[in-house]
Structure 1
Amino acid sequence: MAQAPGVEVNINANDWRASLSKRTRSMIVSAMVKQCLPFFGSEGLDRLRDHAKRFEEKTFTTATSLSEYLLTISMKLISVETRACCRVANPRNQV
């Protein structure tokens, strides 16, 4: 299995958080912002960055494993993308 940058190999489930460096977590937040930016526009960049950082921190704290952490973030990004695409497809349904 390929090793992700910033993630140590041979970790047990109890210390998975120690395997993620601050740099890796920062890269994850940046990737979240980058993926969401086309849907929200650059006007709200600071707000989007703050929201992504808070979401990552909450997910990091509550996840019980690295897989749950990555899955939760991935599912959130898919959800954001799906909602944004629906708004574009059906502009009359915007709230």
Structure 2
Amino acid sequence: DSTMDTRSWTLSPWARQGIVNKILDTLKRHMPFTSPEGMEELKKVALRFEEKVYTTAANQTEYLRKISLKMLSLRGWSQGSAVNPCA
């Protein structure tokens, strides 16, 4: 079936959850929410972002690179500086 996942690499669920937690920590530092609803939304954002990167990355190096670049660009954005992750 052509719709099956043909990824040649995988990460364990606990490793992926660790990455999601790090993404969430970064989001909380740069976009603080105090309400429970805001925290739930940040969790959803972190999960969706990780899932998107995981399903599109060709390998673990690309997966980690894409996440790292996004987290660095978020840090720059929150500090008010223009960061171009493509540069």
TM-score where L is the length of structure 1: 0.70
Letter of the 1:40 counterpart: M
Number of positions where the alignment pairs a residue of Structure 1 with one of Structure 2: 72
Instruction: Work out which structure has the larger RCO, using CA pairs closer than 8 Å and 6 or more positions apart in sequence.
Output: 2
In structure 2, the gaps of 5 or more residues are: 1-6, 82-87
Q: Note the residue ranges of structure 1 that are not aligned, 5 or more in a row.
A: 1-13, 88-95
Which position in structure 1 is the counterpart of 2:4? none
SS in structure 2 at match of 1:86:
coil
Q: Residues 58-69 of structure 1 correspond to what in structure 2 (within 5 A)?
A: 58-69=52-63
Aligned to 2:16: 25
For 1:46, the equivalent position in structure 2 comes to: 40
Which residue number in structure 2 is paired with residue 91 of structure 1?
A: none
Q: Output the amino acid matched with 2:31.
A: F
Confirm or deny that 1:16 pairs with 2:20: no
2:28 pairs with 9, 28, 37, which one?
Answer: 37
Runs (4+) of structure 1 exceeding 4 A deviation are: none
**Higher helix fraction: Structure 1 or Structure 2?**
1
Q: Provide TM-score, normalisation by structure 2.
A: 0.76
Question: Which residue type is aligned with residue 78 of structure 1?
Answer: L
In structure 1, give the amino acid aligned to 2:26.
Q
1:24-78 CA distance string (max 9 Å, x none)? 1011000111122121113322111101100100100000011000000000001
